[in-house]
A and B are shown apart, each in its own frame.
Chain A
Amino acid sequence: MPALAPTVSAADAASKFGTMFLGLAVFAAVFIGILLIASLFRGKYAEKAQAVAFAGPAILFIALGLLYPAILTIQRSFYSGKFFDLNAGLGNAKAKFVGFDNFQKLWTTPGLPEVFLNTLWWVLLVPSLATGFGLLYAVLVDKAKGEAVAKALIFLPMAISMVGATLIWKFVYYFNGEPGGVQIGLLNAMLTGVGINPHDFLGAFPWNTFFLIVIMIWIQAGFAMTVLSAAIKAIPDDIIEAARLDGVSGIQLFRYVTLPSIRSSLIVVLTTIAIATLKAFDIVQASSGGTLHDSVLANEFYRRSFVTQEPGLGAAIAIVIFLLVTPIIVFNVIQMRKDQA
């Protein structure tokens, strides 16, 4: 007899929905109330009051949901203890102020320094190669026959979750170490088919990190292609026509017309992928869990926070990730300002 899923009684479900609708109704009432009050203001305060009424709730929620946890994380990184909540725990499990100890652990803990090196490879390779492939593909299929199908094919990986993608690639990389054993992994079957020794793609350090990076590029190239293809299509036809009349070659057209026209899109794509890469822990987690010298910062943040019960060290790693993302975002904002000016 198959095990039955736990059933939720109808009354239970009804009361939960009731609470939810009540909550939504209260939320709507409060919101309308604020706007009504704002509309009562007349004269020179009217504009300010309306600005507060519209932006205020958003700012409040960002402060509650983003700033407050960020401050807590920074605070957490200066404390020892087993629990996230600084007030939780008894005895040695209770958090104590330890200054910069957690940050010192970033390079004294065996195994952590190599994580920084791995992360560097990820951030260097994924955005550049994914954008490169995406751009090349977008240019090649632009206005070609069967463009829609070609684009859908490369965009499909974006629709797969990172864990799913990793599982697919684990089969591609699968390695049977027994001499003469049957290779069921696609790549190793191909290698042995042409008489080359099979390779342990996900096991053999240091190259395993790069085979994981390939997975991320495979996922992100579709995103780059889609955005860049749209940008290329947005280039006004008369510019291209004018360039053609001036007699430029295909490569010159790409270098002097296409590339400058899609510059802002390129930067957005590069920085978005860079940030996604710094935050992605799924691929490493789903392949080896970062245990074969192939961990990255985001995976270590999770592991130290939840598995090894070192939330202080986890918070320190989170702050490092934040510090690494910040310059990318700043660069992005500066570029956007330039484009608007």
Chain B
Amino acid sequence: MASTLRRTTSVIGVAALAAVGLAACGGSSDNSGNNASGVDTTDYSDWCSMKDQLNGKTVTLYTSIVTPEDKPHKDSYKPFEECTGITVKYEGDKDFEKNLPQRAQSGNLPDVAYVPQPGLLQTMVETGKAMPSPESVSKNVDEFFGKDWRAYGSVDDQLYAAPLGANVKSYVWYSPKQFKAKGYKVPETWDDLKKLTAQIAADDANAKPWCAGFASGTATGWPGTDWLEDLMLRTAGPEVYDQWVKHEIPFNDPQVATALDEVGSILKDPKYVNGGFGNVRTIATTTFQDGGQPILKNKCYMHRQASFYAANWPEGTKVAENGDVWAFYLPGDGQSKPVLGGGEFVMSFRDAPEVNAFLTYLSSKEWANEKAKVTSGGWVSANKGLEIKNLKSPIDQQSAEILQDPNSVFRFDGSDMMPSAVGAGSEWTEITNWINGQDTKKTLDNIEKSWPTS
């Protein structure tokens, strides 16, 4: 009798466990709004002391970062793997953005994914398979990142992903040597920048002040959308920028037209572009990788592109304030300091101690500094615990300074937050049409028309 009873209880126990397991698997789909109760509240901040629980476990990681940038990432996990006994299985895929939503539908999700766009992050939350961040990750984000970064990793005020890396897009690349030889100074305001542009055009008949390249396969046009976003931040301000990104003002609002015309005053003026490549139309067919190269041949003076463009200079080019190339902050009114940028976020699709310990590690200052030490250049994070001296390249150090500057007003790349039909669709193609001669009004009207109704 007693033994039968015991067996019954244990059967019930197993069934209950199974039910909990099932609930944990499908849980987030039902109550994504109020997940507070389902969140893992274990403190993982001292992951090294938890080896007895974590040893021998595996965490699968899926990212868009491929060779050669994946190496420093893998290296940065080593201290964590050694002291916890966890194995991180890394998978890089160039078509990550297209494949991740498909994998969610076929039930083949990784434990952890580095998502480079808040828009895709929201889509993944909408699949109902994303895990809200465990408490120790949430604490790290509060401690090491600004409120704006927390907001980009959240959906409906629930944090789903801690920020990982970052990049600064508000840069103008130039040759310090060339500027010095001609006696040009780095401009402090947008108006000064335009005056400098006119002066260069008048001074040098063999070169153009600016060069640009929009071509990038299916994503052709994205460097143009970055231009527009940077000018939106400067002509309309961060608040209007936010409304524009959330579609609280229409895409063809007069303020957007002002910003785009301001871009056009440089990129559509044949006197000012396209140094080293030809006329305005060559911008659409020049790849973004090639876009700034004429600076090295003194065919072009300035190229607006993100910090990651540092990787595109040929080997042996000295990227430094007194080197071959360097980048200055794209100025605004001289007072406020809006910064356009991007970055990746760490999403989780499995609620398990080893996964949550890894998430905690990635959101910590320990990881940010470890990553800085094993990377030769081309990486930076908005993590405030990152010590700038640990970064190896001068441009990364400057980016980290800008990101950590309390006067900076950071805004995430708008096209990465808009619905894909716009941010990865009509905005790219219409800006490409615009540079090929289509007028501002038709361009903005067409993008507004494509904004999804639901």
Contact = CB atoms under 8 A, between A and B. Distances in A.
B104 interface: yes
Contacts of A285: 217-218
A327 interface: no
B158 interface: no
A113 interface: no
Interface string A275-310: 000000000010011111100000000011011111
B284 A292 contact: yes
Interface in A86-134: 88-93, 96, 108-111
A110 B430 contact: yes
B127 A83 contact: yes
Interface string B324-348: 0000000000000000000000000
A308 B126 CA distance: 16
B419 A93 contact: no
Contacts of B299: 178
Contacts of B277: 176-178
Contact of A83 (B105, B125, B220, B452): B105
Contacts of B452: 310
A171 to B, nearest CB: 14
B339 to A, nearest CB: 28
B446 A110 contact: yes
A177 B279 contact: yes
A307 B425 contact: yes
Interface in B38-91: 67-68, 70-71, 90
A78 interface: no
Nearest to B214: A291
B104 A291 contact: no
Interface string B272-308: 0010111101101100000000000001000000000
A84 interface: yes
B123 interface: yes
B70 A308 contact: no
B425 A308 contact: yes
A202 interface: yes
A291 B428 contact: yes
A47 interface: no
B403 interface: no
Given A205-B436, A291-B221, A307-B218, A110 B449 contact: yes
Interface string B382-425: 00000000000000000000000000000000000001110011
A178 B276 contact: yes
A110 B105 CA distance: 29
A166 to B, nearest CB: 12
A82 B70 contact: no
Nearest to A111: B429
A289 B219 contact: yes
Contact of B98 (A89, A109, A291, A307): A307
Given A89-B126, A110-B446, A307 B420 contact: yes
A179 B67 CA distance: 37
A309 B102 CA distance: 11
A110 B436 contact: no
Contacts of B429: 111, 291
B454 A88 contact: no
B127 A291 contact: no
B47 to A, nearest CB: 24
Contacts of B450: 109-110
A332 B255 CA distance: 57
A115 B277 CA distance: 29
Nearest to B281: A203
B102 A84 contact: yes
Nearest to B129: A88
A288 B276 contact: no
A92 B419 CA distance: 12
B170 interface: no
A142 interface: no
A271 interface: no
Of A83, A204, A285, the most chain B CB neighbours within 10 A belong to A83
B126 A82 contact: yes
A90 B105 contact: no
A88 B105 contact: yes
A200 B71 contact: no
B284 A203 contact: yes
Among A3, A111, A289, the one with the most B-chain Cβ atoms within 10 Å of its Cβ is A289
Nearest to A205: B436
A82 B101 contact: yes
A203 B101 contact: no
A89 B449 contact: no
Nearest to B126: A93
B215 interface: yes
A133 B446 CA distance: 41
A137 interface: no
A147 interface: no
Contacts of A291: 215, 218, 220-221, 284, 428-429, 432
A202 B105 contact: no
A80 interface: yes
Contact of B278 (A91, A93, A179, A307): A179
B103 to A, nearest CB: 11
User: In the complex, which of the residues A109, A175, A204, A307 has the most CB atoms of chain B within 10 Å of its own CB atom?
Assistant: A307
Contacts of B219: 289
Contacts of B217: 285, 288-289
A127 B118 CA distance: 45
Contacts of A85: 105
Nearest to A6: B90
B32 interface: yes
Given A203-B284, A292-B284, A83 B101 contact: yes
Nearest to A198: B278
B426 interface: yes
A175 B282 CA distance: 9
A202 B215 CA distance: 12
B420 A308 contact: yes
Contact of A90 (B29, B276, B420): B29
Contacts of A175: 282, 285
B444 to A, nearest CB: 11
A318 B160 CA distance: 35
B421 A310 contact: yes
B165 interface: no
A176 B286 CA distance: 9
7 contacts: A82-B101, A82-B420, A96-B454, A110-B450, A111-B446, A307-B98, A310-B425
Q: Across chains A and B, which 3 residue pairs bring their CB atoms closest together, nearest first?
A: A177-B278, A308-B425, A93-B126
Interface of B: 29, 32, 67-68, 70-71, 90, 98, 101-102, 104-105, 123, 125-128, 215, 217-221, 274, 276-279, 281-282, 284-285, 299, 419-421, 424-426, 428-430, 432-433, 436, 446, 449-450, 452, 454
Given A90-B125, A292-B285, A310-B452, 12 more contacts: A6-B90, A88-B105, A88-B127, A111-B426, A176-B277, A177-B278, A203-B281, A203-B284, A288-B285, A291-B218, A291-B284, A292-B220
